[in-house]
Amino acid sequence: MRPPCEPHNRLAKRFRRDMVHPMPATAHQRAEAELTAYGLTFPEAALGKGWATLRALDVRKKTFVLFGAKGQPLDALTIVMKLPISAEMAEELPFVRPARGWYKQHNWVTAHFGPDDDILAEMETLKGWLKQSYVAIAPKKLGQVV
């Protein structure tokens, strides 16, 4: 059995290789690239279709994270994840927007980092949330492997 953080598929390996050069221009782009590469290390994770300006990561065709927002500049990043364990705590953080309606009811959290926010300082938190979101969305057997 492989360690849980090792890329499982060719897509993840190719994505990690392609992300080495060139380096994304802004800290927000680097953070998205790093989070995407990390998310692709999970079993059966793949780049999803997303919608319009959104980029997604899926597990078995179910989205566990969305990146981006309509009209978002390169020096900003919006991330949407399902956090069944820490959604309530996450909403206390200054970069998390209040959830409403369906999103709040189903524990989806929207983190927004503007041009003046230090997204790289929050990478460990975001990676933990990404893992929590994957486990919440993935089939039980896959979630147990991570």
pLDDT tens across 60-107, in order?
999 999 999 888 888 999 999 999 999 999 999 999 998 889 989 999
Long-range CB contact pairs, 105-110, < 8 A, 24+: 106/82, 107/82, 107/83, 107/136, 108/80, 108/81, 108/82, 108/83, 109/80, 109/81, 109/82, 109/83, 110/78, 110/79, 110/80
Domains and CATH numbers, the chain: 10-145 (3.90.1150.30)
List Cβ neighbours of 111 (8 Å cut-off, separation of 6 or more): 78, 79, 80, 81, 90, 93, 95, 96, 97, 126, 129
pLDDT tens across 23-50, in order?
668 999 999 999 999 999 999 999 998 7
**pTM reported for the whole predicted model:** 0.82
